[in-house]
Amino acid sequence: MNFKARIYRVEINLCVDVPREVTDTMKPTKGYIRIKGTINGFNFIQTLVPVKNGPYRLFVNFIMLKGGKAVEGDEVSFNIKQNFTAIEKQYPMPAQLLDQLQSTNLVDEFEGLSPTRKKDILKYLSYVKTEETLQKNINKVLDQLRNNVKNVRIP
């Protein structure tokens, strides 16, 4: 949907108000509306933020300003539509975990875990800061796989 809006400042952020006739055609998820669109022909992906007793707000970042050749106070053209593309974050398998799964012949057991369980394990391991803690948690996973624990968990 097309609309024009003037860029204004709220504290340190630049933004525009999105007309209700545009947002009324969209379905919010937890109050927010994920969108993709253009500002003066420049593509962007962003989220509309609800405002109490007001229209949804679209924050305009520096990249959008530069790409849309706009500055604060300009009236700019927008063309937006709801973005239904799911965001699925991927977590890489640490090399140490893969090496140890292979050396202990537990790769099949790990791959037999549910996708959610594997993702939870890899997510947790991706946030570990020290090698010592990483190894300790890998050992926990390996022990549970050796003992055929169906609900493998860390920490």
Residue-wise pLDDT tens digits, 72-101: 999 999 999 999 987 778 899 999 999 999
Domain end (from 82, 112, 127): 82
| 6 plus 75 within the same structural domain | yes
One domain for residues 113 and 77:
no
Residue 87 lies in a domain: no
- Domain end, chosen from 29, 59, 82, is at 82
pLDDT for the residue 89: 84
**Whole-number percent of the chain with pLDDT over 70:** 100
Q: Is the pTM of this model over 0.75?
A: no
- Number of folded domains in the chain? 2
Domain holding 43, by residue range, is 2-82
- Sheet containing 54-59: order of strands: 2-6, 75-82, 33-39, 42-51, 54-59, 13-17, 8-10
* Tens digits of residue pLDDT in 32-64: 999 999 999 999 999 999 999 999 999 999 999
